[in-house]
Amino acid sequence: MISFSHVNKTYPGGFLALKQVNFTLESGEMAFLTGHSGAGKSTLLKLISMMEKPSSGSILVNHTELAKIQYKQIPYVRRGIGMIFQSHNLLKDRTVFDNVALPLIIEGVSHKEIRKRVEAALDKVHLSAKLKCFPYMLSGGEQQRVGIARAIVNKPPILLADEPTGNLDPKLSQDIIRLFEEFNASGVTVLIATHDLGLIARMKYRMLTLKDGAMINDGLVDGLQPQGEFNE
């Protein structure tokens, strides 16, 4: 569960990135976060993953008030959140297997268990054959799928994705979204930030729309363009 209550975020220099944002994403729910570049989508995801701290307001993630979390506890909160980025954020000098295994190594899981779970995660994203490849040997779409496998390998209850289809062609983008739907179907809470409305227009999911840091729309996408000022 993710809950924002009167959240404001001001960056040093006075730029107001989020203004009085309120919303609740229940456990097992899937939603899209949309808005123009600079609307505050990434800031919102950064606040959930504790890469940034809110200037005011309250954020609850898995029933934990993030404002009360101490520095040493941050990694343990992050282990409950799978994060996927447009830039993939893979370790360049490690193989696909090592990249996907990283969250499990950090948690101190046994070698046998790691092998089993990494293979299962790579199978899910159809990359079992690329186990020993390095990231530079993969296409953009494959790298993105490695990032997804890494995000789901330790079975987190929440998945966050920041422009996961940003550099991908429409076919690959659809495949990636289908993967998120599969994870959501197994009970994972999914929040995807995207400005690609064409991708989600025909889906029946909740859409949160940000404009200049303010939440201007929170409703279902039902084969129509969402209500509000943001239209691509």
Partner 1 sequence: MSNLYSSKLKQRDNLLRRLLTFPMWHIQQAVGSLGDLWRTPFTSVMTIFVLGISLALPATLHLFVKNAHQVSEQWDSASQITLFLKLSINEKSTKNLIKRIKLYPEVDEVSYISAKQALKEFKILSGFGQSLEYLDKNPLPATVLVIPAQHSSHADAVNALLMKLKQEREVEQGKLDIEWLTRLEAMAQLIKDIVLSVALLLCLSVVLIVGNTIRLAILNQKEAIAIMKLVGATDSFIQRPFLYSGMWYGVFGGLLSWLAVSMLTHYLSGAISHLTELYQSNFQLEGLTFSEVFLLIAFAVLLGLIGSYISVRKHIRTIEPNAD
Binding site for partner 1 (CB under 8 A): 42, 45-46, 49, 51, 71-72, 75-76, 78-79, 83, 85, 87, 89-91, 93, 102-103, 105-111, 150, 162
143, containing H or E segment:
helix 140-152
Nearer to partner 1, 110 or 231 (CB): 110
Nearer to partner 1, 105 or 137 (CB): 105
Is 5 in contact with 57 (CB distance < 8 Å)? yes
Rounded to whole angstroms, the Cα distance separating 55 from 11 reads 8
Closest CA to 217 of 43, 86, 31: 31
Nearer to partner 1, 68 or 72 (CB): 72
Strand arrangement of the beta sheet that strand 2-10 belongs to:
64-65, 56-61, 2-10, 16-25, 214-220, 206-211, 30-34, 189-193, 158-162, 81-85
Nearer to partner 1, 37 or 231 (CB): 37
Other CB atoms within 10 A of residue 173 CB = 20
Closest CA to 146 of 100, 183, 92, 113: 100
Is 210 in contact with 35 (CB distance < 8 Å)? yes
Residues 6+ positions from 114 with CB-CB distance below 8 Å:
101, 104, 105
Q: What are phi and psi of 126, to 5 degrees?
A: 60, 45
**Closest approach of partner 1 to the CB of residue 205, in Å:** 22
**Closest approach of partner 1 to the CB of residue 38, in Å:** 13
Nearer to partner 1, 78 or 206 (CB): 78
Is 203 in contact with 52 (CB distance < 8 Å)? no
**Closest approach of partner 1 to the CB of residue 45, in Å:** 7
Nearer to partner 1, 77 or 172 (CB): 77
Nearer to partner 1, 165 or 221 (CB): 165
**Closest approach of partner 1 to the CB of residue 32, in Å:** 17
**Closest approach of partner 1 to the CB of residue 109, in Å:** 7
**Closest approach of partner 1 to the CB of residue 222, in Å:** 30
DSSP assigned state of 71:
G
As beta bridge partners, residue 7 has 21
**Closest approach of partner 1 to the CB of residue 224, in Å:** 30
